[in-house]
């Protein structure tokens, strides 16, 4: 069964990171291997580079904890990520140097008319920092990608891997890269299958998260005012134009007519996400630096990106082999466009809690949060302390003490550390000058625990445990102390004969009990 995640541009990469964290928390029923394609002409974009870093950490963890299936396999992060993602970048596909101008990226047929429609400045733009809100330029580059044999072969390899093929695309409607490629890529894949393997049309499912403006753009400094700086007003205007274009595509999403049936519509499901008032790039409310691309273009995670992970989980679960749970909404439009609405009193910001997230997803995300807290902030630092102290609190299951190097524990810690950072940033989502999320009782305490874990010591391990009551809701603490205390006892020595068994047992013990109907 082919599975492909496509992220387009910086905002697409931010959603890709959230979706990866969702996969680690088992939000989906997927197992096996997923391919990842991240399309961002701004190769050094901080958000895209961060996504790549998370892919590497996730891959290292799952490799150390392999196999994903079987009695002794891992219970969390059950999906593997194909490690060929660097071959799926724009540079990996086309083989161009990042500093080459636009005309070197275009399809052969496009190059002859470039002087008619593009200025000399546009034609000679170095695309190293993306398309700078020029969707028309992005479309030309995408035409060059479509001509590439390697790209077509990769797409068809995923589709022909057996069973249903699930492709999920993330991107924004308000920038340059996402706006230029989002629908075009999905439409291209549909036409490619129709031409090369028409018998597979009904086994191909395409979904996507389309982002409307959800974060504020920092004000440009005075020296940038003559260089057409990006502003919130620009973003709003670009969004209105793009939405008008999408509305004109008759077969965009399943539902509402014969051309919107599965296999004929471009998307089987489309998830429209945005936020108003816009969230801040820095969740602590501090001013963010203005940048047009590159490594500085990195922002904190926010609630919208977490919701994109829930959207992806809904799509992948609803289109599993043997299932067809995507149903057209009963509305005037009658199409599979899913919109999120966060409740709140008129004139007030919504208070976003776990209850605003699909119930099953919220429970699994919280289970992973507890697991990550115990592993990153107690167990792994305690083992580090055990290498120099004989009387470590919770690491006695490592019978050989300092002679044992728990590589699985370390690999899991490195990835789950990023999961904790992600949940912390989401919980600190800032909009309208105030925090709007209540997923953690006290986000600062989580950050304190993260910082303590970086400097392992017996004292810090003990202090971290004292912080747990201030991090997760009180009713979630029922099993935490017995779990920690049990790490010292005979039960764990008997059950956890190796690292995988220990981590699986710890993960299972962190299960969130489902609340009964009230």
pLDDT at 183 (0 to 100): 87
Cα 227–Cα 228–Cα 230 angle in degrees, nearest 5:
120
- Chain region(s) in the chain for CATH 3.40.50.1440: 2-340
DSSP conformational letter for 220 = P
Beta bridge partners of 207: 168, 269
The Cβ of residue 59 has, within 10 Å, a number of other Cβ atoms equal to: 17
pLDDT at 475 (0 to 100): 42
- C-alpha–C-alpha distance, residues 395 and 339, integer Å: 47
Residue numbers of the chain with a pLDDT score lower than 50: 71, 129-130, 343-345, 400-403, 474-478, 489-494, 516-518
What is the CATH code of the structural domain delimited by 2-340? 3.40.50.1440
Q: Put the strands of the sheet holding 32-39 in their side by side order.
A: 79-81, 32-39, 2-8, 165-172, 204-211, 269-273, 337-339
pLDDT at 478 (0 to 100): 44
- C-alpha–C-alpha distance, residues 238 and 183, integer Å: 16
257-291: per-residue pLDDT in tens? 667 888 889 999 999 888 877 888 888 777 666 66
Which helix (H) or strand (E) covers residue 485, if one does?
A: helix 480-486
Residue in the block written with tokens 């670009």: 238
Single pTM value for the model: 0.86
Residues with Cβ within 8 Å of residue 376, at least 6 apart in sequence: 413, 416, 417, 420, 450, 453
| Helices 9-24 and 303-318, axial angle in degrees (round to 10) | 60
Q: Are strands 434-435 and 430-431 parallel, antiparallel or unpaired?
A: antiparallel
């Amino acid at each position: 069964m082919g599975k492909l995640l496509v992220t387009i541009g910086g905002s697409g990469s931010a959603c890709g990171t959230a979706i990866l964290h969702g996969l680690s928390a088992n939000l989906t029923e997927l197992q096996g291997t997923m391919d990842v394609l991240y399309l961002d002409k701004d190769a050094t974009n901080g958000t895209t580079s961060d996504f790549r870093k998370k892919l590497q950490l996730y891959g290292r963890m799952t490799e150390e904890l392999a196999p994903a299936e079987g009695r002794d396999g891992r219970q969390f992060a059950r999906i593997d990520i194909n490690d060929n993602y660097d071959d799926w970048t724009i540079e990996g596909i086309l083989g161009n140097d990042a500093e080459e101008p636009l005309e070197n990226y275009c399809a052969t047929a496009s190059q002859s008319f470039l002087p008619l429609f593009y200025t000399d400045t546009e034609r000679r733009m170095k695309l190293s920092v993306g398309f700078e809100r020029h969707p028309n330029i992005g479309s030309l580059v995408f035409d060059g990608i479509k001509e590439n044999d390697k790209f077509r072969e990769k797409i068809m390899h995923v589709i022909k891997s057996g069973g249903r093929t699930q492709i999920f695309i993330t991107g924004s409607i308000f920038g340059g890269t996402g706006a230029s490629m989002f629908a075009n890529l999905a439409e291209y894949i549909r036409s490619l299958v129709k031409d090369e393997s028409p018998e597979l049309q009904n086994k191909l499912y395409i979904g996507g998260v389309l982002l409307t403006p959800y974060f504020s753009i920092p004000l440009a400094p005075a020296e940038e005012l003559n260089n057409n700086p990006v502003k919130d007003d620009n973003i709003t205007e670009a969004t209105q134009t793009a939405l008008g274009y999408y509305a004109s595509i008759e077969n965009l999403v399943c539902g509402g007519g014969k051309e919107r049936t599965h296999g004929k519509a471009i998307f089987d499901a489309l998830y429209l996400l945005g936020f108003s008032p816009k969230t801040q790039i820095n969740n602590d409310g501090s001013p963010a630096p203005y940048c047009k691309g590159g490594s500085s273009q990195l922002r904190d995670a926010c609630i919208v990106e977490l919701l994109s992970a829930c959207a992806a989980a809904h799509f992948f679960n609803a289109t599993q082999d043997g299932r067809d749970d995507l149903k057209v909404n009963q509305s005037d439009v009658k199409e599979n466009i899913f919109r999120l609405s966060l409740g709140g009193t008129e004139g007030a910001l919504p208070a976003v809690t776990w209850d605003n997230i699909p119930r099953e997803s919220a429970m699994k995300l919280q289970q992973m949060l507890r697991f990550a807290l115990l592993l990153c902030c107690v167990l792994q630092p305690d083992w580090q302390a055990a290498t120099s102290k004989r009387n470590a609190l919770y690491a006695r299951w490592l019978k050989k003490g300092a002679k044992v190097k728990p590589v699985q524990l370390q690999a899991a810690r490195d990835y789950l550390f990023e999961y904790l950072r992600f949940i912390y940033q989401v919980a600190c989502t800032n909009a309208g000058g105030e925090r709007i999320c209540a997923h953690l009782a006290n986000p600062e305490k989580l950050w304190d625990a993260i910082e303590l874990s970086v400097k392992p010591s017996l004292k810090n391990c003990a202090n971290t445990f004292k912080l747990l009551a201030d991090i997760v809701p009180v009713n979630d603490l029922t099993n935490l102390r017995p779990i920690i205390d049990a790490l010292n006892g005979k039960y764990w020595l008997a059950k956890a004969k190796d690292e995988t068994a220990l981590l699986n047992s710890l993960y299972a013990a962190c299960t969130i009990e489902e609340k009964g109907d009230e």
